[in-house]
Amino acid sequence: MVTPFSGDGAVDLDLAARLADHLVAQGSDGLVLCGTTGESPTLSWAEEHELFVAVKGAVGGRARLIAGSGSNCTAEAIEATREAAALGADGALVVVPYYNKPPQEGLEAHFRAIASAAPELPLMLYNIPGRTGTSLAPETTARLLDCPNVVSFKAASGTTEEVSALRALCGERLAIYSGDDALTLPMLAVGAVGVVSVASHVAGPQISAMIRAFLAGELATALARHEQLLPLCKALFATTNPIPVKAALEMTGWPVGAPRLPLLPASDTVKQRLSETLAALRPT
């Protein structure tokens, strides 16, 4: 979920609560707060905690709430994950440490420390090498499965091969989610169970319908939905996420504000492409 900002740049907690309610009504089974799309790098931990409390008050009990608690500092990630558990999160999204580029042994030790610090909280490991500079190897992930609360994986490496490798090593013990809207259907086909979606902000019913069709064995219908959604998925990543999705929300009546610096508002070119793809998106 994006983090809405008011005109003065503060987190808009009231709008966040309303947006969360809307997303759940549009078909989202859960919400990830303070992840990449939520601009976690420019949120303070205090802002993240306030946001979580506001959203939990709005949709708690109707959707799973996953708190982004990752950091490139292990001690900081441990503290944030413990706080997420204390606030009543249903799980935590823990990203691969960024910038410091640890080797696989360091990644394993990092995630083990977090898992053992909050053993009651289910963890979703988040692999996005395009942003972190390091990729969590499937073999390392498989070793981490002896931590009982390592239960899911957000695959955002941009390839279905990662899903296949994880399935081969981990089987059904690990629930794999696509981290790329455009690859949701291909990843479902090789063993993923869903998507941590950006496009669901403006196309929740269509994405839900595609996944339901695939799970029901209605493959032609699922493919048609995928083809319908693909132009929007591409437009939403025409520049750095969440610049386009915030613009798309503005166009559809959700004044979530511009991203915080160093991200900038969408250009006129990006807005025009979004306008065209939103207009072409048929209702479910």
pLDDT digits (tens, 9 = 90+) for 29-48: 999 999 999 999 999 999 99
Instruction: Give the integer Cα–Cα distance in Å for 224 and 39.
Output: 32
Does one domain contain both 21 and 105? yes
Does one domain contain both 214 and 251? no
Which among 201, 218, 235 is the end of a domain?
218
Q: What are phi and psi of 176, to 5 degrees?
A: -100, 130
pLDDT for residue 281 is more than 90: no
SS3 of residue 77 by DSSP = helix
Does one domain contain both 208 and 268? no
8 Å CB contact between 132 and 98: yes
Does one domain contain both 152 and 234? no
**Three-point CA angle 138, 63, 27, nearest 5°:** 90
pLDDT for residue 132 is more than 90: yes
Does one domain contain both 22 and 147? yes
- Whether 7 maps to a domain, the answer reads no
- pLDDT band for position 279 (50/70/90)? very high
Does one domain contain both 248 and 211? no
Which among 218, 236, 260 is the end of a domain?
218
8 Å CB contact between 155 and 141: no
Domain that holds residue 250: 219-284
Instruction: Give the integer Cα–Cα distance in Å for 7 and 9.
Output: 5
- Whether 4 maps to a domain, the answer reads no
Does one domain contain both 52 and 101? yes
pLDDT of res. 166: 98
Give the rounded percent of residues in the chain with a pLDDT score beyond 70. 99
Return the residue matching tokens 């919400």: 31
- Whether 3 maps to a domain, the answer reads no
- Whether 104 maps to a domain, the answer reads yes
pLDDT averaged over the chain? 97
SS3 of residue 33 by DSSP = strand
The CATH number assigned to the domain holding 30 equals: 3.20.20.70
Strand order in 64-68's β-sheet? 30-33, 64-68, 91-95, 123-127, 150-155, 175-178, 194-195
pLDDT of res. 284: 60
What tokens does 31 get? 């919400």
Does one domain contain both 189 and 200? yes
CA distances from 261 to 60, 209, 213, 258 (A): 31, 35, 40, 9
8 Å CB contact between 89 and 65: yes
Does one domain contain both 194 and 88? yes
Give the rounded percent of residues in the chain with a pLDDT score beyond 90. 98
Instruction: Give the integer Cα–Cα distance in Å for 193 and 81.
Output: 24
Return the active site residues: 126, 154
pLDDT for residue 282 is more than 90: no
Angle between helices 104-117 and 74-86 (to 10 degrees): 30
pLDDT for residue 283 is more than 80: no
- pLDDT band for position 250 (50/70/90)? very high
Which among 196, 218, 240 is the end of a domain?
218
- Whether 211 maps to a domain, the answer reads yes
Number of domains present in the structure of the chain: 2
Does one domain contain both 61 and 115? yes
Does one domain contain both 107 and 240? no
8 Å CB contact between 211 and 221: no
Instruction: Give the integer Cα–Cα distance in Å for 251 and 235.
Output: 14
Helices (H), the chain: 13-25, 45-59, 74-86, 104-117, 129-132, 138-144, 160-170, 184-189, 200-215, 219-235, 243-251, 268-280
pLDDT for residue 158 is more than 70: yes
Does one domain contain both 131 and 262? no
- pLDDT band for position 194 (50/70/90)? very high
